[in-house]
Structure 1
């Protein structure tokens, strides 16, 4: 008596090595997401703070001081009020910022993210020739 022959096309599943590789990839992506998420949250906090400062108005030093107060409350460490570029054109004010965040991943490997934002309308200004 022998065992019945099994047809290979009916076999399904994943091998142990395949499972380990898939779990390693998912784990690496999860660790990367956990390290990047706080910086993205801080970026959106900065955008919210500069929108609030623009709505409040005032002189350039007052706007910088107002941003510093909002940064203390919102746990913003990446930039300070002096790092803001504030341009006033009559009644219109545009506040912009740019900074880099380095996230260490392990050993000599790190991730560098460039963040930039503005209270402008998002339309790129084309330089005239």
Structure 2
């Protein structure tokens, strides 16, 4: 009795390779946007802590701008921050979009919201 052969054909290997390649392309293109969001979120929390210590709003914006230069954040600036002080606690929030080109005329659009308020 002949044994049955197992494995992928050449066409199967090409299809699986194309799917894995496209998934990796999307992943590699989105990582910088996610890293920038995490840096913005961290900086927003640090700026809010400074605001809780009595720092004025213009100085908070300058502090964020200094921190964003260190973290290489280019999407958001201190002028984009929404700073409020409900109940004596400083809440810093920023809402922004980031368009990530993938290939040709295909791109991904991310809507980010970073806030210092506990959720």
Runs of 4+ in 1 over 4 A off after TM superposition: none
Shift of 1:20: 0.5
Give the structure 1 partner of residue 30 of structure 2: 36
The answer for unaligned runs of 5 or more in structure 2 is: none
1:71 to 36, 48, 68: 68
Query: 1:12 and 2:6 equivalent?
Result: yes
**Root-mean-square deviation (CA), in Å?**
1.2
Structure with the larger helix share: 2
User: How many aligned residue pairs are there?
Assistant: 116
Q: For residues 7-59 of structure 1, give each alpha carbon's deviation from its aligned partner in whole angstroms, at most 9, with x where no partner exists.
A: 5xx22111110011001100101111111000100000001111111112211
Instruction: Give TM-score, length-normalised by structure 2.
Output: 0.92
TM-score of the superposed pair, with normalisation by structure 1: 0.85
- CA apart distance, 1:78: 0.8
